[in-house]
């Protein structure tokens, strides 16, 4: 179903609710949430554990379906569309890389699933390797590289198919402090270079305010405030 979308809006949530259970055991993870996330924006969902931020991310990615409300991508209602049919990719907290594959094979995996031509895959993988500065590690297995390098591979794999939106679920939380600070700058740089809308989930206020164009602060399944880092 097509809807008249406001120009510049990548994702529009309208009265989105997500509940689990039934009867007296119903738990509301997300409460009647309305939110616009813009094209080419680095947008962060910030809040403590259990506030609903990851559920919201999973609803956008298609890993959960809303109990009520609509989710629009470029004006198209995707609330009931399965994840593999959405032009949205996700970088998970544990990266979900294939340890028996090389860096290049991991980056090209999604493109092979999309049945792209071999020369197209090779060219795109080379482009991604340069973007994340891993050209010298292309033939190394991902089980043989560092945590920061694994993070870059996961990002390159997610970006390779040129999604309209990239979701990042606490994807820096496994890194040590120094590397985490470096990757914050790198993520922001990658978002600017690709022009893809990034939606980032974190419980770390400093992290959210460092990287984001705008931040949504969540508590108990509700958005309490949306604004620029300065406004928040």
- What DSSP letter does each residue of 46-58 carry, written as one string? E--TTSSHHHHHH
The answer on pLDDT for 4 being more than 50 is no
- Residue 93: pLDDT over 80: no
- pLDDT digits 0-9 by tens, 152-209: 898 899 999 989 999 998 877 766 777 778 778 888 888 988 899 999 999 989 889 9
Please check the confidence at residue 2 and state whether its pLDDT lies above 50.
no
Q: How far apart are CA 135 and CA 39, in angstroms?
A: 29
pLDDT band at 3 (very low <50, low <70, confident <90, very high): very low
Computed on alpha carbons and rounded to an integer, the radius of gyration of the chain in Å comes to: 18
Reading phi first (left if > 0) and then psi (alpha if -120 to 50, else beta), residue 177 is in alpha
Q: pLDDT (tens digit, 9 = 90+) per residue, 133-145?
A: 899 999 999 989 9
Per domain, the residue ranges of the chain are 1-83+165-171+196-232, 88-162
For residue 22, is pLDDT > 90?
no
Of 163, 215, 218, 217, nearest in space to 191 by CA:
163
pLDDT digits (tens, 9 = 90+) for 34-69: 999 999 999 999 999 889 999 999 999 999 999 999
What is the pLDDT at residue 193?
86
Measured CA distances, 108 to 71, 104, 151, 161, 196 (Å): 29, 6, 15, 9, 19
Q: Does domain 1-83+165-171+196-232 have CATH number 3.40.50.300?
A: yes
pLDDT band, very low/low/confident/very high, at 32 (cuts 50, 70, 90): very high
- pLDDT at residue 186, as a whole number: 81
Structure tokens at 181: 């600070």
């Amino acid at each position: 179903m097509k809807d008249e979308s406001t120009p510049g809006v990548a994702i529009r949530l309208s009265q989105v609710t997500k509940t689990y259970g039934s009867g007296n055991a119903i738990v509301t993870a997300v409460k009647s949430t309305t939110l616009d996330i813009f094209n080419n924006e680095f947008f962060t969902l910030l809040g403590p554990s259990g506030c609903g931020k990851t559920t919201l991310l999973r609803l956008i990615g298609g890993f959960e379906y809303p109990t009520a409300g609509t989710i629009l991508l470029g004006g198209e209602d995707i609330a009931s569309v399965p994840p593999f049919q959405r032009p949205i990719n996700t970088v998970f907290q544990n990266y979900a890389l294939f340890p028996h594959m090389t860096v290049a094979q991991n980056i090209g995996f999604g493109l092979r699933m999309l049945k792209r031509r071999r020369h197209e895959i090779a060219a795109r993988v080379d482009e991604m390797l340069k973007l994340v500065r891993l050209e010298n590690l292309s033939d190394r297995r991902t089980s043989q590289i560092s945590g920061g390098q694994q993070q870059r591979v996961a990002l390159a794999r997610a970006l390779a198919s040129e999604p309209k939106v990239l979701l990042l679920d606490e994807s820096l939380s496994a890194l040590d402090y120094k590397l985490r600070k470096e990757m914050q700058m790198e993520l922001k740089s990658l978002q600017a270079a690709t022009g893809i809308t990034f939606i980032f989930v974190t419980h770390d206020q400093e992290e959210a305010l460092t990287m984001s164009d705008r931040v949504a602060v969540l508590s108990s399944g509700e958005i309490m405030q949306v604004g620029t880092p300065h406004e928040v």
